[in-house]
Amino acid sequence: MIEMELQQPTSVACGITAASSQAEPLIAYALFRILAPVADLNRVAVANEHRRLGVGRRLLESSHTLLSSLGCIECLLDVRSTNMEALGLYQGLGYVQIGRRSKYYPDGTDALLLRCKFTTNPSVADPVP
Ligand SMILES: CC(C)(COP(=O)(O)OP(=O)(O)OC[C@H]1O[C@@H](n2cnc3c(N)ncnc32)[C@H](O)[C@@H]1OP(=O)(O)O)[C@@H](O)C(=O)NCCC(=O)NCCS
């Protein structure tokens, strides 16, 4: 599934390795689809043993900078309404809720649609919704 996503010409993948060398194993990744000026965050994950250390925040901040340089002005994503870890991460980066998809997931959980508008500092939300 991820392999198929990566083959799409609109896909952008960002990752963080355990050390500065790219030969080190990945500890976090984010996968976006870009239809400039809008990016969609399709997947993001940090390896269990590296969570709560600011890795997810650093990854998305760097990703926002990259997306901005590729002509994106905002990033959209869906998140489970029950995923408090992810919601905390996104809200801390300036994502705001712009919609809700009722019972979106097979187990009946709602999806929240979030948006982060990039500014000169692309990880900070624009004050105008
Ligand atoms: C969501 C996820 C990517 C966060 O990565 P992380 O590297 O642990 O996050 P960070 O350490 O950068 O934390 C950033 C913020 O996220 C929130 N957060 C992260 N983990 C949390 C937890 N266990 N409980 C509550 N809030 C949490 C906090 O607001 C945190 O800010 P703080 O440290 O100032 O309190 C990680 O938990 C993960 O991979 N989860 C499984 C995959 C997933 O759910 N992906 C999202 C799909 S939409």
- Could you report the per-residue pLDDT of 99-121, keeping only the tens digit for each? 999 999 999 999 999 999 998 55
Query: 């900078």: which residue's tokens?
Result: 65
* Consecutive H or E run containing 29: strand 26-35
**What domains does the chain contain, in order, with CATH numbers?**
2-117 (3.40.630.30)
Task: Say how far apart CA 106 and CA 89 lie, in whole Å.
Answer: 24
CA of 4 to the centre of ligand 1 (A): 26
Contacts of 8 (CB under 8 A, 6+ apart): 33
Closest C-alpha to ligand 1, atom 5: 56
Percent of the chain past pLDDT 70, that is, above it, reads 92
- Give the number of the atom of ligand 1 that is nearest the alpha carbon of residue 57: 12
pLDDT at 119: 82
CA of 113 to the centre of ligand 1 (A): 17
CA of 28 to the centre of ligand 1 (A): 12
Structure tokens at 43: 């997947």
Structure tokens at 101: 């998809």
What does pTM read for this prediction?
Answer: 0.91
How many other CB atoms are there within 10 angstroms of residue 41's CB atom? 22
Task: Say how far apart CA 53 and CA 28 lie, in whole Å.
Answer: 12
